[in-house]
């Protein structure tokens, strides 16, 4: 049980981190953290996992490039707007047609748990990532076995019915459209992490 709690909190940390990367343009303070010890230690920990090694190191290099920009916040924000403002890649319906069952699940989860983001659109990629974090934390923090298993089932359903369909084309579109490369690297790392996570949910977690 202790291993499950540690793993769930770690999973939630990752989903929260990716949500923050994509939900809004990064501010100066967040960008400065790219050069700090905590960020390098975080990426080092990801790079110890074989499926994440290349993606984590690519993201590290791209984060270093951001720090070398003349005006990092302004220039990175411009790249963000090109990808995620109009015709936003965060609109998952533009990437994959959601199944009715998955949409209903996400709508119910949003009603039950809410979101820390500005809107409660079930098709918003960041709402779905944030919900994975919320469910993982809730599952780790409950002492009720029935509730814990139900929360795990909800994570499996969300991952298998929604995220698995839009995440690969999301990463591919970021690679095609991101001329600078930072968000393409972030999306590739997200996809690599999710591929590990859905394997964990489908084959290990109980």
Tokens linked to 159: 């991952």
**Residue 101 to residue 176: CA distance in whole angstroms:** 30
Q: How far is CA 91 from CA 4, 84, 95, 121, in A?
A: 32, 9, 7, 9
Query: pLDDT tier at 65 (50, 70, 90 boundaries)?
Result: very high
**What tens digit of pLDDT does each residue of 185-202 get?**
999 999 999 999 999 999
69 burial (CB, 10 Å; 0-12 / 13-18 / 19+) is middle
pLDDT at 119 over 90: no
Q: Please tell me whether residue 85 adopts helix, strand or coil conformation.
A: coil
Residue among 71, 89, 92 at smallest CA distance from 81: 89
Residue among 9, 3, 1 at smallest CA distance from 138: 9
**What tens digit of pLDDT does each residue of 128-164 get?**
999 999 999 999 998 899 999 999 999 999 999 999 9
pLDDT of residue 102: 87
pLDDT of residue 97: 87
Query: pLDDT tier at 100 (50, 70, 90 boundaries)?
Result: confident
72 burial (CB, 10 Å; 0-12 / 13-18 / 19+) is middle
**Residue 46 to residue 170: CA distance in whole angstroms:** 21
- Mean pLDDT calculated for residue range 71-94: 92
Distance in angstroms between the alpha carbons of the first and the last residue of the chain: 10
Residue among 152, 161, 167 at smallest CA distance from 102: 161
164 burial (CB, 10 Å; 0-12 / 13-18 / 19+) is middle
Asked if residues 40 and 57 have their Cβ atoms less than 8 Å apart, the reply is no
pTM: 0.95
Q: Please tell me whether residue 91 adopts helix, strand or coil conformation.
A: strand
**Residue 178 to residue 175: CA distance in whole angstroms:** 6
Query: What value does the mean pLDDT of the chain take?
Result: 93
């Amino acid at each position: 049980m202790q291993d499950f709690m540690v793993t769930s909190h770690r999973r939630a940390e990752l989903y929260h981190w990716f949500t923050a990367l994509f939900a809004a343009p990064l501010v100066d303070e967040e960008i400065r953290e790219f050069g700090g010890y905590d960020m390098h230690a975080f990426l080092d920990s990801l790079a110890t996992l074989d499926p994440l090694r290349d993606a984590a190191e690519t993201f590290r290099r791209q984060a270093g490039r951001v720090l070398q920009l003349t005006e990092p916040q302004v220039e990175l924000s411009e790249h963000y707007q090109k990808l995620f403002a109009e015709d936003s890649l965060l609109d998952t319906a533009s990437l994959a047609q959601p199944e009715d069952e998955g949409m209903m699940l996400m709508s119910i989860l949003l009603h039950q748990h809410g979101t820390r983001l500005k809107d409660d659109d079930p098709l918003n990629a960041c709402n779905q990532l944030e919900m994975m974090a919320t469910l993982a934390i809730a599952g780790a923090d409950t002492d009720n076995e029935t509730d814990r298993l139900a929360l795990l089932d909800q994570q499996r359903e969300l991952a298998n019915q929604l995220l698995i369909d839009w995440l690969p084309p999301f990463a591919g579109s970021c690679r095609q459209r991101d001329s600078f490369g930072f968000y393409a690297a972030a999306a590739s790392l997200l996809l690599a992490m999710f591929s590990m996570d859905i394997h964990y949910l489908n084959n290990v977690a109980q």
